[in-house]
Amino acid sequence: MAVDANTVKELRDLCGAGMMDCKRALEEAAGNMEEAVKILRTKGMATADKKASRVANEGLVHAYIHPGARVGVLLEVNCETDFVARNELFVAFVHDVAMHIAASSPRWVSREDIAEDELKKEMDIYVAQARETGKPEKVLTKIAEGKLNKWYEQVVLLEQPFVKEPEKSIETLRRELVGRIGENIEIARFARFKVGEQAE
């Protein structure tokens, strides 16, 4: 199926993918814009998986101060080249993530950053709560694991729903950007400061 240049441009503006990728996706989707977006997203996710093993030792340290100057965030995000570190999409992503951290106060970047004893403590609480419901012992762990996954969405940055687009997690945003930019991108670390927090 022949795809006109305006439709290709429209898809490119929507997704940020390359012109040829957009053209191929539209051809594959028989001109259906929504389907083409899905195809590009799926390919972007696959690209992110392939690039995950590559070393990301360039990037940015970004400081974000929320209006009112009561909350601030320092964030390090890494990429593979200094060229990408200056890319508008990358810089916008870093800013958005810092702003998200200010709003959503995650405690860790990923699940792997959570100490074993912290995880065990949470799991014990959820098993005890499940036991209170009177459910059989054999399902308690399953119930507790479900609650633990909900807890991850509250405290783990990569698993939190993005404040500007709650239907996407921060990890989904990261993977989409990897697909668009073509380099591995990693959120390395952050610190969130709130006035008076230490006194509490």
Q: How far apart (Å, rounded) are the C-alpha atoms in residues 70 and 56? A: 32
Architecture in CATH of 58-110+156-194: 2-Layer Sandwich (3.30)
pTM as predicted: 0.70
Only one residue has tokens 């040829």, namely 20
Confidence of residue 134 (pLDDT cuts 50, 70, 90): confident
Q: Do domains 58-110+156-194 and 115-154 have the same CATH topology?
A: no
Architecture in CATH of 5-51: Orthogonal Bundle (1.10)
Average pLDDT, the chain: 85
Domain boundaries, the chain: 5-51, 58-110+156-194, 115-154
CA 3 from chain centre, in angstroms, equals 32
Question: pLDDT per residue over 59-82, tens digit each?
Answer: 999 999 999 999 999 999 999 988
Architecture in CATH of 115-154: Orthogonal Bundle (1.10)
**What angle (nearest 5°) sits at the alpha carbon of residue 9, between those of residues 78 and 20?**
70
Contact 158, 110 (CB under 8 A): yes
List residues bridging with 160 in a β-sheet: none
Question: pLDDT per residue over 179-195, tens digit each?
Answer: 888 888 999 999 999 99
Q: What number is the average pLDDT over the span 143-155? A: 90
What pLDDT, on the 0 to 100 scale, is given for residue 55? 64
What pLDDT, on the 0 to 100 scale, is given for residue 199? 57
The 10 Å Cβ neighbour count of residue 96 is 17
1 three-state secondary structure: coil
Confidence of residue 116 (pLDDT cuts 50, 70, 90): very high
For residue 140, give the amino acid letter. Answer: L
Confidence of residue 18 (pLDDT cuts 50, 70, 90): low
